[in-house]
Structures are given as structure tokens and as C-alpha cells.
Copies of this chain bind each other. A is one copy, B any other.
């Protein structure tokens, strides 16, 4: 079953974890890294990872492998140009945290690829091949883009890769995905950065000495490598602006209430209700759909109601 082979471009935390998980699931896996050192590390761990992207893509084209672009957004155009040059009609997905910008780049640089966007929602504060682990995607949400016009068969191939890695598949339109992650993934990074900066402001160390678990948790993701946060957030500018404006509006209204009546009840209760709603939504029931038959509109509805696809029906 060569068509179940996977070619991963990029061997960082996500690409490296994906290679490990897919191999563990019995897939034939090879990949590339821009870094000689990473390729050597991966080779020492028994993985077929080189630095020649063209060679890896040529092999993918010959074997009809699913190509996964697991590189940061700024590097993506160069990878897509190689796809168009070497394996122009390959089945292609990605692991980038924004989906509209990726779809635009594919339309521009590799328009013949049979592309279905993907976003495994997993990560740690660490990065690089060594930080990767086969279990990174276990029980995680893995968005598989379900925009009109995509090939339902390739959608199924990407979903199967996600399941093979232990994830559940959340179908979503690219723009709805970007708005959602702006709210629940990118905004948390920016608020964590603001909180960490406010706590560390000034020469006086008393605030940091008194910082306990609320500060530790609220600033955890501010410890992520700035380059990764920037690549993620800056690639989702429009959606992020809407999320930031929502947060600014709520924070401003709260500031007004605190200054006038001193009351914070509306803010605190809305936050508590939101957290409770999140807690209740944590374990989606999971549905099964029919391969190649359940429509893209039906798939998108599954994601909108907060559920996930966990396998094929029938």
C-alpha cells in the first residue's frame, strides 16, 4: 500500500512527532530537514530523513505518498515551489497553525497539488526533532480543512493519517478555523505575554516574589520561543485583530466598571461561565462519517457543533 506512505517536509517538533507516530502506525515514512544536524539526529534515531527536499518529493510523486508540509509559514512558499517543480500533482497537506494563508500560498505556488489543509492542535513549549514524540497527537484535535472544492478522497487520506497518529478529526472551513484559533490559541499567547510583562515591570522584584500559580499558569505559554509565537500569530493577522478587539472591548468595559462602581461581577461571571462551557465541551462524543460520501457541508457542521470525526461508518 504505497499510497499510505507519508513524506514529511520539516523535522521539528510537529514534523518529527508526525514521523514517529506514522511509523509506529505502520506507515512507510520519509522526510527532510533544512538542517544537516537535524537530519543526522533523525537518522541516528532510525528515521529516513535527508536534506534533499527535491529527492524526497520526487520519491513522493513516484509512490503517490501523502506529502505533509510541517514547516513554519514563512518557509512554506519555498517548499511549495519545490512541490510544483518536482511532484506537482501530489496529495498534499500541512501542519501549519493558520489555514487561510496556507491555502492562499498553495493556490499561488503549487496550484496543481491535490491539497487539503491540516492543523494538529498539539505542542509543547519545546521545539526541534529531539522534543518530538510519537504520542504528541494522542487525543488531540486535528483540524482537516473542509472547504468547498477540495477532493473528498484526499480529505479522507488526511483524516486517516490524523487517526493513525491518535488524534480526532475536527472538520472546519479554513476561515472559521483561523477565527477560532485566534480566540483560543493565539490570543492566549498574547495575553500571557502582556501578563508576564506587567508582572516583571519595574526594578522591584516583590511582584515576582509573590507570583503564585495564577501567574505561573497565566504566563506559561509566554515561555515559548518568540519566533514560533510570532510566526503563528503574525500569519493570522486579520482573525487575530478581531479576537484582540473583543478582548480589548471586554477589558475596557471592565476597567470602566471597576473605576465607576468598583464592580467586576459581569466580567468574572462571564469568565466563569466560559470556563464551565469549555470544561463541558472537552470530551466530544465523536461521530463516524462515510468515506467520500458525507458532504463537506455536513463535515463542517460537525466541527461547528464542537464534535469530531473518529472514524469511518459502515
Question: CA separation between A267 and B190, bound complex, in Å?
Answer: 7
Measured between beta carbons, the chain B residues less than 8 angstroms from A85 are: none
Is A259 among interface residues, defined by CB-CB distance under 8 A? yes
Q: Does A86 contact B (CB under 8 A)?
A: no
Instruction: Tell whether A273 is near chain B: CB-to-CB under 8 Å.
Output: yes
Chain B CB within 8 A of A246 CB: yes
Among A195, A248, A270: residue with most chain B CB under 10 A: A195
Structural contact, B246 and A263, CB atoms closer than 8 A: no
Any B CB within 8 A of the CB of A107: no
Interface of chain A residues 210 through 247 with chain B (CB within 8 A):
210-226, 229-230, 233-234, 237, 240-241, 243-247
Q: Which residue of B has the minimal Cβ distance to A300? A: B206
Q: Would B210 and A143 count as touching, CB distance under 8 A?
A: yes
| Contact residue among B183, B208, B248, B265 (Cβ-Cβ distance under 8 Å from A248) | B248
Q: Mark A188-208, 1 if CB is under 8 A from B, else 0.
A: 111111111111110011111
Contact of A262 among B189, B196, B234 (CB under 8 A): B234
Residue pair A199, B274 in contact (C-beta under 8 Å): yes
Residues from chain B with Cβ under 8 Å of A123 in the complex: 212-213
A268 CB-CB contact with B under 8 Å:
yes
CB-based contact A210/B177 at 8 Å = yes
Q: A210-B141, A214-B188 are in contact. Are A254 and B194 (CB under 8 A)?
A: yes
8 Å CB interface, A153-181 against B: 170, 172, 176-177, 179-181
Nearest opposing residue in chain B for A273, CB measure: B200
User: Other CB < 8 Å A-B pairs besides A193-B270, A193-B274, A245-B255, 13 of them?
Assistant: A181-B210, A183-B201, A184-B214, A187-B198, A188-B215, A190-B271, A196-B278, A200-B277, A205-B281, A211-B278, A219-B274, A223-B276, A233-B264
